[in-house]
Structure 1
Amino acid sequence: MAEARSIAMVNMGLAARRSGAVELFTSDQGLTIKITIPKPKMMARSLKRKYHVMRNTLLYSFFPLGILSVIAVVALFIAVVLGSDRSSWWRSGRPATIIWYAACAMPGFELLPLTVQLVGLATTAGLASCLAVMVVQRYVLRMLLNWTGWLYVPRGQKPWRVVAWSMAVKALTVSAKQALTFSLQGSLPRLPVPSLEATTRKYLESIEPLRDEGEMAEERERVEAFLANEGPTLQRYLWLKSLWAPNYVTDWWEKYVYLRGRSPLMINSNYYINDSSMYRPTSSPAARAGDIIEGMLEYMRMIDHETLEIQMVNNTIPLCMEQSRRMFATTRVPGLEHDTLVHLEAGESRHIVVLYRGVFTALPVFYKGHLLDGYQIENQFTCLQEAVDAYIEEHGEPGTAGKIGALTAGNRTRWAEVREEYFSSGVNGRSLEVIERALFFVAMDPAKPANDTDMGRLNLTGRGYDRWFDKSITMVLYANGVMGVNCEHSWADALCPARMVEHAMTRHFNQKVFDENGSVIPRDGFTKRVPYQGTILPWDLPVAAQAAVEDAVLAASALIADVELQLYQHPWGKGRIKGCRLSPDAFVQMAMQLAYYRDQGELCLTYEASTTRLFRNGRTETVRTCSSAVKAFVEAMEDESVPASEVRAALQTAVDGHVLKFKDAMSGRGLDRHLFALYVVSVGRGIESEFLAQAISSEWRLSTSQQPQRQTDNWDPSTNPEHAQRVSSGGGFGPVADTAAYGVSYMLAGEHTIYFHVSSKVSCPLSSSTRFIKNIGRALDDVLALFDEDAQ
């Protein structure tokens, strides 16, 4: 009993120590507990955070009514009740009577003066009325948002039902511009579960152009067996989950597609975002850090204070903002079987970690409770470089310790084993904890990327050891002032960090940020330089740990050597495509189908990402581009005997089908997430399904994604030539298969440019990013030529 009591006291002491309120010491004489009082700054910060949480909770509870509106309603109720006669409806009506008798059941209520009783009951009635308004608003808005018919209305048409629906939604979201970031989350509908018949029908249609008659007959038999046997049972489980879960697929998608993956994050999962193609505001990496990091911290503060504007479609329909919560202070921690996403709440992390010349430095971005501005951040980075240079001069190059980041680039299970063995305690454990608790990671790279392709390659992989691929965001600063971003994928999709990067890059477009020397211009009235706050993180690596790091470096180098990444800028953009009266995205997708056919001599299963953020906790859905209509268009395009008019007709049919599938994906009528969720249920319940096993194992040889542009109102490249010069080339990702596969990310940059990021495996002799880019360019020009006057 005494031993058990001592263990319990130790556990209590350790828990208290983590909270900062108690310190525990042991000695030969026994156990001593020393009580300490938190610092006033810590107490003030905690109280301030609790105030924000309480305020936001109140605002959520009564949205769309503001606090002042609630106070006004309550005051009105009190005034009317106190001013009314005892026989009036306000004092003797049925609602008043019910409230009165309910209050009388509370102990001590009848002892209060009558005036106090009336004020309390009037206040309760006023608050209840405000809450009723909130409930009605959310319920009605959710019902309206459940209808996605507006997506299917042809461009230029406005049926009366769509106009009426839009007016009703706008009336209920009119306050969204001033609302808290997550105020409308409770109003978003749940992702619907498609019917088995619709999903299996779409599946068969998607593979038909890629199978012969015998193979299609086998596929139909598997589908019929699935619908007759295990399908309905699996569907019922899925339907039950959809009743209580905010989203029936997202938690499984994050867990099984991302966190259980054992492949390296570098190339296979993480993606990158490039800097502007032409705009070079400064050649100083410290100055560029000051400007961009200030913008990133502004964005972080907007998320923390929930003042980040809700993204809306057509300024009317809200999108889910949930992914933004984990943008900063989030790390993917490796595990033996599955990884874990660890996120710190606002105020728990107040520093970044910078890697410069192989030395890791923790750099606070707050000073006396205030975020540093761009001028101060530049000064901190300048001091950091000087401090690290002096440290290396005194202690020598860091060697293997500077390459620890390679562990985050390799196999996840191996990283988990090394982490547990050498980085779970002591000096290494403390330094690793500082990195994983950072707001984000910054890599200062000595390279000087000369073009978009150089940027893309370095942003995707670096040297394999000079990034921290586990962090939600790794910002890269190059020696010539160029910047880039590498993002871990499990916490969010590219739309989310792309909006943040766009904000950081464009918020000062109409201001002069840098002086003639390329340094950040100090703010008027706030130009104080703060003392240097950086702390170099120490490491103590035994020989075995060094060997593990060096093995990871070699493995990362092999992965990098096997990737060919090329960027291509097409000389015309969506302005020319609009002249053809076709969807720009569908036009590009058709051109890529033609390009792949010319590249490989056949079509393939093609993945295009679509968002499902119209629904709560929505992430992505797959648009299967390849179809029988696409096959007919490609074959007609390659047959010189087919008249241009017939090719155009085939193209129109293929484009119309693709647009419809994209709208189905956005409205929750896609097929791949449904198939995935059914498969998870089948595995979890131990129900074998030949059809699902076959459908889930399909290989995507062409994986594509259109990148967003202009997610903020800070700039307008379509009307401002100076802004157009600052357009980023977007970002990209690695190939998703080892066969003749390509990863293609593209961005319709304004009216006059299309950027393509194409990746492939060097080890596959059948694929070549350089060749595929040429095929894309030729295909775009050939499809556009169909609409030339001569062709008509």
Structure 2
Amino acid sequence: MAEAHQAVAFQFTVSPEGIDVHLSHVALKQVYLSGLHSWKKRLGRLRNSFVTGVYPASPASWVFVAGTILLAQFWRLDPSMGLIGKIQEHLPGRGCLSEPTQAVLCALAFATVLWLALILTMRSILKLLLSYHGWMYEAHGKMSHTTKVWLALVKIFAGRKPMLYSYQACLPRLPVPTIHDTMQRYLESVRPLLSDLQFQRMAALARDFEHSLGPRLQWYLKLKSWWASNYVSDWWEEYVYLRGRGPIMVNSNYYAMDFLYVTPTPIPAARAGNAVYAILLYRRLLSQEKIKPLMIQGTLPLCSAQYERMFGTTRIPGLEADRIQHVSDSKHIAVLHAGRFYRLRLYHSGRLLRPRELQAQFQHILDDPTPPVPGEEHLASLTAGDREPWARARRTYFGSGKNQQSLEAVERAAFFVTLDTTEQGLTGPDPGRALDRYAKALLHGQCHDRWFDKSFTLIIFRNGKLGVNAEHSWADAPIVGHLFEYMLATDAFQLGYNANGHCKGEMDPDIPPPQKLQWEIPEECQQVIQGSLRVARALADDLDFHTFPFKQFGKGLIKKCHTSPDAFIQIAIQLAHYRDKGKFCLTYEASMTRLFREGRTETVRSCSIESCNFVRAMMDPAQTPQQRLALFRVATEKHQALYRRAMTGAGIDRHFFCLYVVSKYLGVDSPFLKEVLAEPWGLSTSQTPVQQIELFDLKNHPDYISCGGGFGPVDDNGYGVSYIIIGEDLLTFHVSCKISSPQTDAHRFGAHIRSALLDLLALFSLGPK
């Protein structure tokens, strides 16, 4: 094999005359450059760790402090109030040093201690300032004097030119709500969903829990919140994700779509070359911590911890629980095409492969006529089915030999790439249905052509369209979305393509081709693979999807209603659901808690008493438009209040979850917690945030808009709804449900969402475009 010969750095033969050694200078050069590249990265990480470790101060500030102390010493002043002299008395080896040298060393030692103390003081003050959230509850455009003073202090103590992880040590811990507050908010959230008798029963259970078992469980949570960085996140990752034994495909994974109207090139190898190169540029920025931390209002930092495991991360199956494996510096990616697996090296001569070189690598894979070996074509379906069979198969059939080496190449890859054999996007005579197929292709594909365990899989379709499928346990959707936005913008606006649709730039013809991975899959393992494939296909075939752009109006017109766009859409979804099913249901809207260290998500219970009152008014012909509008205002204000509570750590569902985990550790049963956590989420909703709008010039390039992403339904009889607010005039929705449910229909619900949005706008006497 050509790649095997390229990897040999030296050869030797034994003859009667002795040992004859033949060194390959080309291979030795590659070894040298690779080592140089690794050491540069290590030194860079060491430097970044130091700069981040002293933030919000800077290394240069030490020079200022030390210089000031030395200058004071020169002028016979003692700013240390005698401490420098004390240090000098206990200076080791002072007999070997002159008096001036001792004075300088002791002054520098004092300056360093003083500098570190100032850093700790600044961090403590900044953490205290970031714990204030009163600004979120003030009316838009009306800032109190207290908030103005607070904001000025934050700007003073927040430092300058932060790196990605600079604020991590300054972020406050997620607070634990009181049992009483959580009980009250819970009962308020379920009141519109229960009859009077059901509500009285639930209120009695809540009171009993609040005064009996609740305080005992709360004590343990308080203890954990003082000790751990975040009292929720580690348990959330383990019990919600890693301990799940069902398929993660559809049930957990999510996807992101390409540009809606534009495909930069129809050549799949070229699109893959540019996209992978853009992702690698992002990884370089990430490793150098040059990505700016996300800030609210340009001042308040969000936690960046989830970025750490974006690359080189794989979910490893286990019998009882999975685990997350992370490789810090993977130098290859794994590629799947037509049932064959490849290892594609990302570096040559100590540098990243250029886009044109990556295109050639992908084209080599596309042109390879080698068929998959028995069992290889459907091998990836092991990651799509139940977790326990996959864990047993991995332990039994992939623990040694070729299979172990090939599996390690996949699991230790920076990320996974699928060169899909289908065409997707706005194609065919029915573009609406085409988007539905596109969504299903990204979420599950053929169930054997994505490695669902990887942190993310980049999918390149035969017509040049692309998308991403992401595993959920290691991070939430905004993290992958940040990467995806950068990749799309860099691909389209910076790298570009030549007139023939190929990647720009030169290429080195001596780069070795990708290495085809070798497998020896026995018949018994093939049977396990087919079993996982059947489970995955049954799940995929039961999934109904409806993806549609809503073009009548967008954020611009909603703002003229003096209403939060998210609240507007959430109330519209409530109205659409009531029209669809004739009832209200428990509604999940994802909110982030990244204002706190290692924060992930919290639930906004969007179905409130106020939203239900408004929906009933819309369904009552006796109600006037003025009465409906007044109720709408109350409903949106309530929704915004619920969202603010969730963001500031005053949500209820993560608190309930952690109380339940503690109860299991203590071996006690709580009928109240069991019932609360067993309630089905008939509606699971999420907004896809646009985080880097500055990367896209929608004024000059209005067609370069992403369609957002989506996920599967949480409840077998419910809906999953994802939406993205793009620019001023476009909303895009992704609706999912189960075909097997007699209660749901994705297209029917999509039609209700459209009409609900138009009906809400009509309340304001504002016509759509």
Question: 1:744 touches 1:757 (CA, 8 Å); kept in 2?
Answer: yes
Amino acid in structure 2 at the alignment position of 1:470: D
Q: Which amino acid in the other structure matches residue 52 of structure 1?
A: G
Match of 2:58 in 1: 66
- 1:162 corresponds to which residue? 147
Q: 1:482 to 1:43 in 2, by over 3 A?
A: closer
Residue among 645, 658, 667 paired with 1:664: 645
Which of 523, 529, 538 in structure 2 is aligned with 1:549? 529
**How far apart are the structure 1 equivalents of 2:767 and 2:184?**
41
**1:192 corresponds to 2:175:** yes
1:95 and 2:98 matched: no
> In structure 1, which of residues 621, 634, 637 is the aligned counterpart of residue 602 of structure 2?
621
User: Higher mean Cα deviation, 565-574 or 319-328?
Assistant: 565-574
Q: What's the CA shift for 1:542?
A: 0.8
1:728 corresponds to: 706
Note the C-alpha offset of 1:45.
4.5
Distance 1:286 1:406, change over 3 A: same
Matched, 1:273 2:256: yes
Query: Gaps spanning 5+ residues in structure 1: where?
Result: 1-36
1:147 corresponds to 2:132: yes
Q: Where do residues 300-311 of structure 1 align in structure 2 (5 Å cutoff)?
A: 300-311=283-294
- Provide the residue aligned with 2:196 in structure 1: 213
Shift in Å at residue 509 of structure 1?
5.0
What does residue range 394-409 of structure 1 map to in structure 2 within 5 Å? 396-409=371-384
For the residue of structure 1 that corresponds to 2:375, the secondary structure is: helix
Partner of 1:606: 587
Aligned amino acid, residue 730 of structure 1: G
Change in 2 beyond 3 A, CA 1:422/1:126: same
Correspondence list, 1:456-605, <5 A: 456-507=439-490, 510-511=493-494, 513-522=496-505, 528-529=508-509, 531-571=511-551, 572-605=553-586
Contact 2:273 2:357 in 1 (8 A): yes
Mapped to 1, the partners of 2:292 and 2:666 lie a distance apart of 42
The answer to whether structure 1 residue 758 and structure 2 residue 758 are counterparts is no
Report the CA distance between 1:655 and its aligned residue: 0.7
**Count of aligned pairs between the two proteins:** 731
Q: Would the alpha carbon gap of residues 712 and 118 (structure 1) be closer, same or farther in structure 2, given more than 3 Å must change? A: farther
- Other-structure match for 1:383: 364
Q: Does 1:708 align with 2:681?
A: no
Distance (Å, rounded) in 2 between the aligned partners of 1:487 and 1:468: 10
> For 1:642 and 1:234, how far apart are their aligned partners in 2?
47
In structure 2, what is the equivalent of residue 443 of structure 1? Answer: 418
SS of the aligned residue for 1:286 comes to helix
Percent identity of equivalent pairs:
39
CA–CA distance in structure 1, aligned partners of residues 655 and 136 of structure 2: 20
Partners of 2:586 and 2:683 within 8 A in 1: yes
Residue matched to 1:34: none
Q: Give the 3-state SS of the residue equivalent to 2:694 in structure 1.
A: coil
The answer to whether the Cα contact below 8 Å between 1:376 and 1:530 also exists between their aligned partners in 2 is: no
Letter in 1 for 2:111: G
Note the C-alpha offset of 1:42.
5.8
CA change 1:579–1:61 in 2 (3 A) is: closer
Name the amino acid aligned to 1:135: L
Does 2:161 correspond to 1:172? Answer: no
- Residue 745 of structure 1 and its aligned partner are, at CA, apart by 0.3
Structure 2 CA distance, aligned partners of 1:298 and 1:40? Answer: 23
How far apart are residue 580 of structure 1 and its match? 1.5
> In structure 2, what is the Cα distance between the partners aligned to 1:673 and 1:337?
23
8 Å Cα contact 1:331/1:472 also seen in 2: yes
Give secondary structure in 2 for the equivalent of 1:703: strand
Kept after mapping to 2: 8 A contact 1:383/1:532:
no
1:138 to 120, 123, 134: 123
Aligned-partner Cα distance in 2 for 1:612–1:449: 35
Is 1:635 aligned with 2:616? Answer: yes
State the distance in 1 between where 2:495 and 2:234 align.
44
The aligned amino acid for 2:613 is A
Deviation for aligned residue 1:527: 5.1
Q: Secondary structure at the match of 2:572?
A: helix
Does structure 1 residue 433 correspond to structure 2 residue 414? no
Residue identity opposite 2:386 in structure 1: N
Q: Which residue of 2 aligns with 1:339?
A: 322
Equivalents in 1 of 2:387, 2:546: separation in Å? Answer: 27
The one-letter code of the counterpart of 1:450 is: G
For residues 70 and 286 of structure 1, what CA distance do their matches in structure 2 show? 51
Please give the alpha-carbon distance, in whole angstroms, between the structure 2 residues aligned to 1:278 and 1:771.
25
Q: Residue 263 of structure 2: SS of its match in structure 1?
A: coil
Corresponding residue to 2:98 among 97, 107, 113: 113
Residue 765 of structure 1 and its aligned partner are, at CA, apart by 1.3
Question: Equivalents in 2 of 1:119, 1:237: separation in Å?
Answer: 51
SS of the aligned residue for 1:586 comes to helix
Per the alignment, residue 17 of structure 1 pairs with none
User: 2:761 touches 2:767 (CA, 8 Å); kept in 1?
Assistant: no
Contact 1:509/1:715 (<8 A) preserved: no
Structure 2 residue matching 1:402: 3-state secondary structure: coil
CA distance in 1, matches of 2:452, 2:491: 29
Please, what TM-score do these two structures have when normalized by structure 1? 0.90
**What residue number does 2:763 align with?**
786
TM-score by length of 2: 0.92
CA distance in 2, matches of 1:478, 1:220: 53
Q: For the structure 1 residues 249 and 534, does the alpha-carbon distance in structure 2 shift closer, same or farther, using more than 3 Å as the test?
A: same
Q: Aligned partners of 2:766 and 2:669: how far apart in 1? A: 57
TM-superposition CA deviations, 1:634-656 (whole Å, max 9, x none): 11100111111111111111111
Residue in 2 that maps onto 1:359 = 340
Q: Distance in 2 between matches of 1:174 and 1:786?
A: 46
1:413 pairs, out of 388, 406, 412, with 388
CA–CA distance in structure 1, aligned partners of residues 700 and 729 of structure 2:
12
Alignment of 1:217-366 (within 5 A): 217-345=200-328, 347=329, 349-366=330-347
Shift of 1:100: 2.8
Could you say which residue in structure 2 is the equivalent of 1:28? Answer: none
* Matched-pair contact (CA < 8 Å) for 2:688–2:722: yes
Task: Calculate the aligned-residue CA RMSD, in Å.
Answer: 1.9
SS in 2 for 1:400: coil
Aligned equivalents of 1:591 and 1:399: distance in 2? 51
Deviations 1:37-90 (A, max 9, x none): 996556544533432233123212322333333234334434543x244xx425
Distance 1:517 1:89, change over 3 A: same
Distance across 2 between alignment mates of 1:117 and 1:57: 31
8 Å CA contact 1:358–1:399 kept in 2: the answer is no
